[in-house]
Amino acid sequence: MDQSDIKKYRIKFEDELFNHVLPFWETHSPDPDYGGYFNCLDCDGTVYDTRKHVWLQGRQVWMFSKLYNTVEPRESWLTMAKSGMEFLEQNAVRKENRRVYFCLNRKGDPIWMQRKIFSECFYVMALSEYGRAVDDQSYIKRAREHFNTIWSWKDDLSKVGRPSYSGQKKMNALAVPMILLNVIEEIAGDDWSAWQVKIDECIRQMLLHVHSDRKLVFENVSPDGEFLNTIEGRLLNPGHAIEAGWFLQHWAQKLNDQSLSNTATLMVRWSLDRGWDDEHGGIFYFLDSEGYSPTELEWNLKLWWPHTEALYGSLLNHYITKSEDDLEDFERVFDYTFSHYPDHDHGGWFGYLDRYGHVSQRFKGGPYKGFFHVPRSLLFCRNLLMTMDKQDSTTGQS
């Protein structure tokens, strides 16, 4: 990528983030009466349900704190983060066991608890980044303590109420070690020595899902990493695999681990190749590794988040490898993404397209879509482009 391309893309990312995505969420999501954020927002920002999903509340706190911490200390961003953080602290955690609810009503009363650990992870991310924003170590301490509790649950989900039955095949999901590794990146900061054992364990578990002989990253494998010839065992989730790739790449860079870096690069490339719809463009949500129809009815939708992850994953690949192939991947994803998801009429991005690229769900926020994947990707890509720009200027590379 030459300097003019770097600049061109950086301007696009900044324009999208600061002029179209941020204003939508700053305008429509705050709840002035009870705090926290409305996250069920129609295309024009209308609140179509007042409930508050904790994944998205936590992620939005994290995102506004991250913007405050890394772009500029804008007071309004801290105010936004504070409103969500206080709402979560008051309402999200079941005190007796540190379980975090999945969904609250507008006032903060609980509606639903998942038998999964993800609400907890996003709560910890919120605590950690918000603690940095307000420069209060007690938040980071609590984030780490809460994380250690989650860690004690991860290999036995009966601890979060998930029943096990005698006919179940033992199976590990990529989702668990990948989110834990990402959360460690958030809470450990620059000195991760105390976290090394946990980092190694997450990486080990994640790599069990990477089957290099078939150039596939499986969502679910046996505890030994074996392929399972079942509906879940054959499941490919390209967006997840791409996201896992860049999570690993971050650690490969920190740990200066070339072999891990190579694997992380390949995870993004393979998953993008396999997940791409050659006929209509975009990345499928789910696939079956043996070519059967996935049982998920939404398998062929083109969701926003696999594309935002692929944007950053392919750009990061290109930054590290300098390969033209990675650049082509990035450009292909960029073209599809920027021509399909942004909505400059109302701001924000659409999230759900059908296979043919038509908007299938018009809302900008819903039970699983908030202020997170889009701004994170735009910010991370923009930051990486700024780094590339600096290096180019320094080294005289073009």
Cβ atoms of 254 and 266 closer than 8 Å: no
Q: At its nearest, how many Å lie between a copy of itself and the CB of residue 129?
A: 26
Q: What does the alpha-carbon distance between residue 364 and residue 193 come to, in Å, rounded to a whole number? A: 40
Kindly tell me which of 294 and 313 has the beta carbon lying closer to a copy of itself: 294
Kindly tell me which of 46 and 397 has the beta carbon lying closer to a copy of itself: 46
Q: At its nearest, how many Å lie between a copy of itself and the CB of residue 368?
A: 9
DSSP 8-state class, residue 342 = B
Q: Which residue has the tokens 């983060």?
A: 81
Q: At its nearest, how many Å lie between a copy of itself and the CB of residue 86?
A: 18
Kindly tell me which of 32 and 167 has the beta carbon lying closer to a copy of itself: 167
Kindly tell me which of 166 and 256 has the beta carbon lying closer to a copy of itself: 166
Q: Which residues are at the interface with a copy of itself (CB under 8 A)?
A: 40, 42, 48-49, 51, 101, 103-105, 107-113, 163, 165-168, 230-231, 290, 292-295, 297-301, 352, 354-356, 360-363, 366-367
Q: At its nearest, how many Å lie between a copy of itself and the CB of residue 384?
A: 31
- Closest Cα partner for 92 from 129, 65, 64, 118? 118
Q: Which amino acid is at 117?
A: I
Q: How many CA atoms lie within 13 A of 301 on its CB side?
A: 15
**Per-residue b or e along 186-202, where b marks 16 or more CB atoms closer than 10 Å to that residue's CB:** bbbeeebeebeebbebb
Kindly tell me which of 92 and 384 has the beta carbon lying closer to a copy of itself: 92
Q: At its nearest, how many Å lie between a copy of itself and the CB of residue 156?
A: 18
Element (H, E) at 110: strand 110-112
Contacts of residue 102, Cβ cutoff 8 Å, sequence gap at least 6: 53, 54, 55, 111, 112, 113, 114, 119
- As a whole number of Å, the end-to-end CA separation of the chain is 7
Q: At its nearest, how many Å lie between a copy of itself and the CB of residue 110?
A: 4
Q: Which residue has the tokens 């429509």?
A: 28
210: which strand partners? 217
Kindly tell me which of 37 and 139 has the beta carbon lying closer to a copy of itself: 37
Q: At its nearest, how many Å lie between a copy of itself and the CB of residue 146?
A: 21
Q: Which long-range contacts (CB under 8 A, 24 or more apart) does 93-96 make?
A: 93/123
Kindly tell me which of 195 and 304 has the beta carbon lying closer to a copy of itself: 304
Alpha helices in the chain (DSSP H): 3-14, 22-28, 54-70, 75-91, 118-133, 137-153, 175-188, 196-207, 238-255, 258-275, 304-321, 324-340, 373-395
Q: At its nearest, how many Å lie between a copy of itself and the CB of residue 273?
A: 23
Q: At its nearest, how many Å lie between a copy of itself and the CB of residue 329?
A: 26
Kindly tell me which of 185 and 219 has the beta carbon lying closer to a copy of itself: 219
Return the number of other C-beta atoms located less than 10 Å from residue 169's C-beta.
Answer: 11
Kindly tell me which of 196 and 230 has the beta carbon lying closer to a copy of itself: 230
Kindly tell me which of 171 and 255 has the beta carbon lying closer to a copy of itself: 171
Give 154-215 as a 3 state SS string. CCCHHHHCCCCCCCCCCCEECHHHHHHHHHHHHHHCCCCHHHHHHHHHHHHHHHCCEEHHHC
Q: Which residue has the tokens 């364990």?
A: 201
Q: At its nearest, how many Å lie between a copy of itself and the CB of residue 59?
A: 18
